[in-house]
Amino acid sequence: MAQSAKPISSPVPESLYPTLAVFMLAIGLVVTASFLIYEATSSRKNRSLAKELTSGAVASVFLGFGSLFLLLASGVYV
């Protein structure tokens, strides 16, 4: 009845961790920079809450996953 258990493995090959970390962190930092530029250059009357939330969420996702892959690439398994 008991089947042999398969070890848990990552859906992403370990050789891609550094590349994913660099690209995701770069995209996240670019989106963060565009968010900051948007906040600094637009007046309070012309700001859009939807654009602010969208760019903040996108930057957060990319920086979060970029940080995760950076930790995995450096050998810190979380």
Does residue 39 sit within a domain? yes
Does residue 8 sit within a domain? no
Does residue 23 sit within a domain? yes
Q: What's the domain range around 54?
A: 15-74
Closest CA to 17 of 56, 65, 73: 73
Does residue 6 sit within a domain? no
- pLDDT number for residue 1: 55
Number of domains in the chain: 1
pTM of the model: 0.85
Taking the mean position of all CA atoms in its chain, how far away is CA 51? 18
Q: Report the amino acid identity of residue 13.
A: P
Residue entry with tokens 């090959």:
13
Does residue 9 sit within a domain? no
Tally of CA atoms within 13 A in the half-sphere of 1 that contains its CB? 0
What confidence category does residue 9 fall into, taking pLDDT thresholds of 50, 70 and 90?
confident
Does residue 4 sit within a domain? no
Whole-angstrom distance, CA of residue 25 vs CA of residue 11: 20
What confidence category does residue 77 fall into, taking pLDDT thresholds of 50, 70 and 90?
confident
Does residue 67 sit within a domain? yes
Averaged pLDDT for residues 7-12: 88
Closest CA to 74 of 17, 23, 16: 17
